[in-house]
Structure 1
Amino acid sequence: MGFAVDTKMIKLFRTFAVLADVSCVQSNLGNTRSKYYSTLCNKQYNFSLRDGLFAQAKRQFKANRKPSRSADATFEGIAVESGPVPFKNLLKPLGFTIVFSAGSLAGATIWQYENMRTHAMSMVRKPTHWLQQSQKKMGAWRQELNKQWNSLGEGEKLYIPLFIMNAIVFAVWRVPRFQPFMVKYFCSNPAAKVLCWPMILSTFSHYSTFHLLANMFVLYTFSTGVVQNMGKEQFLGMYLAGGVISSFASYLHKAITCQASLSLGASGAIMSVLGYVCSEYPETRLSIIFLPMFTFSASIALKVIIGIDVAGVVLGWKFFDHAAHLGGALWGMSWCYWGNTYIWQKREPLLQYWHSLRGGTSR
């Protein structure tokens, strides 16, 4: 037993389709309803109650109405790879994670050597160097700018370039023609063709204003103090390594759950800073910005955050990339208890090797 859609019914559905097209500007639900009604208006269907096709279409329509919080839904019209991720596809990202993390720490060591060398040479030639510097900065505005910069702490001097890089990437997101490029290189996705460089580039990538401001506020709050203890070189090496390690943790979780999707943001790298600070200074009192009257120890805060992220991973919450948060936090904790002692404090051979390479150019 079946029935055909008559002409009056088609006109009625076309009217609904127009209304749905207007409402689709306001929500994704309107877009789904528009496609459903437009398809129904352009074709005549014989719905068989016996075969259950009408019930199947109804169930499909209800499923499409469910809102999605996935980052993929934000970039309409851009193809985003998805689907199961074979574990063999993680070998290359794993290698990149190891090489990039080691390179970040080695680069931080060399940077520290060069800073110490430059400072030592400037102290030797201090009178002449001071005269040359005073002659270079003749403009009043440059002198004032230099004065303001020198008044900043080491943590603030490191934070400002990081903030500027994140702000530039955020501005590029606002240009529609660049969004396919940004999705390809500034969003990590284990199902994508480009796997490695997005693991670190996505650490500087934020699509929403709130996401950017929230992450930059937390980074400023924790980085400016801890840099005084770690040094800017060690901090930056740990931060960059934390970004790529958290991305790999996200890849691994998505491969296990067969739910590939886009991820972006500095949260994973910032969680490594948070994990280090709360492990190094567990008795430090923290508070929530909007509730400053409630204080709690850093160790309690870290346990609560890790508990939330573990629950998010186990229960499949999609609002945050909880696996990336866990990867960053575990990296920060491991650096506090193990990395600083057995890696950073053992960097003397690299310093000596680099010193031997630079020895021929010293004057």
Structure 2
Amino acid sequence: MLSSIRYFSQSSIHRFPRLSRNVASRIPTFRERVAAAKPFKQFKASIPQPSIRNQILFTLCASSALFVYAANQTNQDTYLWLVVARERGKALFRIQPSNSDLHTLKKNKLVKDAQAAYDNLMTRLQSWPLRLRHDASWLYVQIAQPILNANEGKRVAWGLVGLSSVTWLLWKWPRAMPFMRKSFCHNPLSGRSYTLLTSMFSHQSFMHLAFNSLALSACGSTVVLYLAQPEGRGLWKGGLPEADTSWHVLAFFVSAGLFASLVSHTANAKWVFPRVIKASTAASTAPRTTATLVADTKAASRKVASVIRPSLGISGAVYAGMVLTALAYPQAVANLVFLPIFPIPIQWAVGACVAFDIYGLIRGLQFFDHYAHLGGALFGALYYLYGREGWDWLRVFLMVLDGHIKPQNLKKDEPKP
């Protein structure tokens, strides 16, 4: 060892004095290393819990904007048809036109527009062979006549069914599959909010689309009867005039679907997700090292993805319509699609559906989105209790803002067209 020192002369030691001091100063002490060490990452922190704040804000803002727009459009249509009715008042009405009179005038206008469209179509097809013109005329009548015969609620339901049919066709296009999975399925783990709305009109299976379409059409026919403004109901004498209920029905169904999706999202984020993480933590007995943390995180992520799956469909809105119908018309009956000869009371049918969803939650069934179904049922019950009064208040509030009525004497004033 002593002989090895002879290879270093005194001059070589003083040749790099500053470098030696810098190197020595950059070597941290043991205490500094311990202080700079980061705490070990916990297992639960490695998988972030889904948020619900943005989804709640999106649902509140979208539903509020939709109801305000629907109420404003209803008021504008009512003003328009009040003007038409009063212009014809001397010949048709000897008193103030009622809501049924306004609905009749609007339906007559719809029939005239359909007849004008038919005449225009036949004029354009004059150069076609007689057989083709006859087929075109028959097809037009087959499409237009059911629309004219249906009430406003069923027409709104058919519009939603048509939109859902378009998204179903997009699911069958292979090139659109990545876009559809991202934008038309609501996954609580994705953090997206707008899919609460787009997933309502998305159906990947034809049977799913068919059952929801039949149920939505049936609910639309009855929901509009309850939501329509009856004579004498309102914040002033004579009731609140209303020429069109379709905007109210549209706001009801879309808001019900949004609320049902939000309930499903919240339940998965605040109830299902912590249970899965807790079970994964309890199942892992290996010591916490970086390797075991990575392995446990991957296993827990796969477990969460298998339990919390993307949801789609308009079933939440259907449940809201069914519950509202059962509460408003308890004497009504329901016919099952596969057993049409056995009508059962609608309250029994709706109660059985709700009981099945509760059983599905208890048993952990995952074929249906039971949280969304129960959320839609809750929305229908709440709307039965408070919906029509809130709708009347919103319409009157917008009328006051527009200057059509005076707020100090609502019971005596009538809307000015």
TM-score by length of 1: 0.67
Equivalent pair of 2:168/2:203 in contact (CA under 8 Å):
yes
Equivalent pair of 2:319/2:376 in contact (CA under 8 Å):
yes
Equivalent pair of 1:173/1:207 in contact (CA under 8 Å):
yes
Offset of residue 103 of structure 1: 1.9
Residue 388 of structure 2 is aligned to residue 332 of structure 1: no
Alignment of 1:260-299 (within 5 A): 260-299=308-347
Between the aligned partners of 1:276 and 1:210, the Cα distance in structure 2 is 24
* Unmatched segments (≥5 aa) in structure 1: 1-82
Q: Tell me what 1:86 maps to.
A: 49
Residue 61 of structure 2 is aligned to residue 99 of structure 1: yes
RMSD, matched Cα: 3.1
Between the aligned partners of 2:48 and 2:63, the Cα distance in structure 1 is 23
Offset of residue 169 of structure 1: 0.8
Alignment of 1:31-180 (within 5 A): 86=49, 89-123=51-85, 138-139=119-120, 141=122, 148=145, 149-180=147-178
Change (3 A) 1:119 1:150: farther
> 1:64-102: CA deviations, max 9, x gaps?
xxxxxxxxxxxxxxxxxxx96625x11110111111222
Residue 291 of structure 2 is aligned to residue 244 of structure 1: no
Between the aligned partners of 1:135 and 1:251, the Cα distance in structure 2 is 48
Change (3 A) 1:139 1:335: same
Change (3 A) 1:84 1:218: farther
Between the aligned partners of 1:174 and 1:147, the Cα distance in structure 2 is 28
Change (3 A) 1:114 1:290: same
Offset of residue 138 of structure 1: 4.7
Between the aligned partners of 2:259 and 2:48, the Cα distance in structure 1 is 18
Offset of residue 320 of structure 1: 0.2
Q: Tell me what 1:228 maps to.
A: 225
Q: Which moved more, 1:144-153 or 1:282-291?
A: 144-153
Q: Which moved more, 1:345-354 or 1:99-108?
A: 345-354
Equivalent pair of 1:287/1:294 in contact (CA under 8 Å):
yes
User: What amino acid sits opposite 2:120 in the alignment?
Assistant: G
Offset of residue 282 of structure 1: 1.7
Between the aligned partners of 2:84 and 2:344, the Cα distance in structure 1 is 45
Equivalent pair of 1:155/1:226 in contact (CA under 8 Å):
yes
Residue 211 of structure 2 is aligned to residue 210 of structure 1: no
Between the aligned partners of 1:352 and 1:246, the Cα distance in structure 2 is 31
Change (3 A) 1:339 1:225: closer
Offset of residue 250 of structure 1: 1.0
User: What amino acid sits opposite 2:60 in the alignment?
Assistant: I
Between the aligned partners of 1:283 and 1:156, the Cα distance in structure 2 is 21
Equivalent pair of 1:110/1:354 in contact (CA under 8 Å):
no
Equivalent pair of 1:154/1:232 in contact (CA under 8 Å):
yes
Offset of residue 135 of structure 1: 7.8
Offset of residue 263 of structure 1: 0.3
Equivalent pair of 1:84/1:260 in contact (CA under 8 Å):
no
Change (3 A) 1:292 1:85: farther
Equivalent pair of 1:312/1:322 in contact (CA under 8 Å):
yes
Could you tell me which of 344, 353, 356 is aligned with 1:305?
Answer: 353
Aligned residues: 273
Change (3 A) 1:314 1:178: same
Between the aligned partners of 1:185 and 1:353, the Cα distance in structure 2 is 39
TM-score by length of 2: 0.59
Change (3 A) 1:263 1:356: same
Q: Which has the higher contact order (CA 8 A, sep 6+)?
A: 2
What secondary structure is seen at the aligned counterpart in 2 of 1:171?
A: helix
Q: Tell me what 2:233 maps to.
A: none
Higher gyration radius (CA): 2
Offset of residue 210 of structure 1: 0.6
Q: Which moved more, 1:205-214 or 1:114-123?
A: 114-123
Offset of residue 312 of structure 1: 1.1
Equivalent pair of 1:85/1:260 in contact (CA under 8 Å):
no
* Unmatched segments (≥5 aa) in structure 2: 1-45, 92-107, 124-136, 228-244, 274-306, 405-415
Equivalent pair of 2:335/2:343 in contact (CA under 8 Å):
yes
